[in-house]
Amino acid sequence: MGGPGDPPEGTPEGAPGGGEDEYRSVVFDESFVRAARLQEYSAQERIADHAPAVRRRPPLRRGLSRQALVLVLLIAVAFGTAIYMGVRHPYQGPAAREPAEPLRMTVIPLAPEGRVPGTADTAYLYAHSPAAQFKTGAEGVPLPPSRRTAHFSDSQVVTALSTAKDYVVRSALDPDVITGGEIRAVRVLLDPDQLDQFDQSFARPTADGRHAPTGWLVRFDPSRAELADRRVRVQGTLQAAETDASTLEVTADHTFVYALRPAGAGDEAAVSLFTVRRELQFRFDRDDLRLHQAQLVVSYVQAGPLSCAEDSTHHLRPLLAGQTAKEGGPAGTDPYATGSATALCGSLATSAQPKV
């Protein structure tokens, strides 16, 4: 006969012997017992209370781990701090930017005291002029050693100097600009606040000290003169200084010498030299530095040989080899000198002309 725990038919064939072996793999440890949802009453409890044999235990309360509690606490603190800072110190946008000043310009024509010297040999002209040792093109506009200022880094000073150099090169050395064509290459370097003034200067030029194209760039009347040599001679300096905590200022002082001949004349035509002295003052705020733009606030130009009787507002109309001015200025002015002319029209000093 089978034991009390065996089935009536006996232990199935192939099953492990003994009822205990069937549950040998089940381990009833202490955690298993505590996790049970049903708990049996003791015999004493059943006798005393006539309660059911078992009772349902409340589910175990599994608390958060210490790491989770710390993480929740940190998130709460950070969130509270963000709210507090937002209330105490609301975000303020950047201070309103001061609009750029309009360009103030002065263009002084320099009339020759006699006939304009010239020859078909351009190299000879340069070699016998004060521009004999000048550099060619952009090489004559070197960047000076840069130093940081109280409120601007070395790289920001370099950016200001480089932008000013780009403006000088594009506005006075680019053949397309010089011959009265391209102006966009110069325009894109200007602060947006000055674009209306720039555009009006070319659409409706006037001699009011604000709207002369020749105050923005060097351009010759293409119907009168053309370049005999695209390699313009240049000499000058760039200097940077901080004017206040938000502004850098760059001063460009250069003398340009152009070889010109009559428009449409062949290569055998006589060539003469034309000299332009430009003193430009640029200003840069941090937006200008970031966008590689400049505020051109002062343009002071002396140019000759020109006739004082002709308008030099829209184009420079040079006097070429063999020509003379109808009238001259009050005194001889040397555009190679460092002083500034004060007259509305000057007389080009003989020392500024090549010796032919």
What is the per-residue pLDDT across 265-304, written as a single tens digit (0 to 9) for each? 888 899 999 999 999 999 999 999 999 999 999 999 999 9
Q: 256-271 burial string, b = 16+ CB within 10 Å, else e?
A: bbbbbbbeeeeeebbb
Report residue 93: phi and psi, to 5°.
-70, 170
Dihedral through CA 130, CA 136, CA 139, CA 141, nearest 10?
Answer: 50
| pLDDT at residue 238, as a whole number | 97
| pLDDT at residue 137, as a whole number | 96
State yes or no: pLDDT of 207 exceeds 80.
Answer: yes
* Overall average pLDDT of the 137-164 stretch: 94
Contact yes or no for 11/2 (Cβ under 8 A):
yes
CB atoms within 10 A of CB 13: 5
Which strand ranges, in their side-by-side order, compose the sheet holding 247-262?
A: 135-136, 225-244, 247-262, 272-284, 295-304, 104-112, 346-348, 332-333
* Overall average pLDDT of the 233-241 stretch: 97
Could you tell me which of 354, 301, 344, 346 has the C-alpha nearest to residue 325?
346
Please state, rounded to an integer, the average pLDDT across all residues of the chain: 83
| pLDDT at residue 124, as a whole number | 95
Q: Which long-range contacts (CB under 8 A, 24 or more apart) does 151-157 make?
A: 151/242, 151/244, 151/245, 151/246, 152/242, 152/248, 156/248, 156/286, 156/289, 157/240, 157/248
pTM > 0.85: yes or no: no
* Overall average pLDDT of the 173-201 stretch: 95
Helix (H) or strand (E) holding 127: helix 122-127
Q: Which residue has the higher pLDDT, 90 or 105?
A: 105
Q: How many CA atoms lie within 13 A of 225 on its CB side?
A: 28
* Overall average pLDDT of the 57-86 stretch: 71
| pLDDT at residue 81, as a whole number | 77
State yes or no: pLDDT of 15 exceeds 70.
Answer: no
Tens of pLDDT, residues 316-356: 999 999 999 876 554 455 667 655 444 578 888 888 888 87
Q: How many CA atoms lie within 13 A of 198 on its CB side?
A: 23
In angstroms, the CA 215 to CA 177 distance is: 13
**What is the SS3 assignment for 190?**
strand
80: left (phi over 0), alpha (psi -120 to 50) or beta: alpha
State yes or no: pLDDT of 58 exceeds 70.
Answer: no
In angstroms, the CA 38 to CA 33 distance is: 9
- Asked if the peptide bond before residue 4 counts as cis, ω within 30 degrees of 0, the response is no
Alpha-carbon radius of gyration of the chain: 45
Q: Which residue has the higher pLDDT, 337 or 197?
A: 197
| pLDDT at residue 44, as a whole number | 66
Q: Please, which residues have CB within 8 angstroms of residue 247's CB and are 6 or more apart in sequence?
A: 283, 284, 285
pLDDT above 90: percentage of residues in the chain = 58
| pLDDT at residue 38, as a whole number | 56
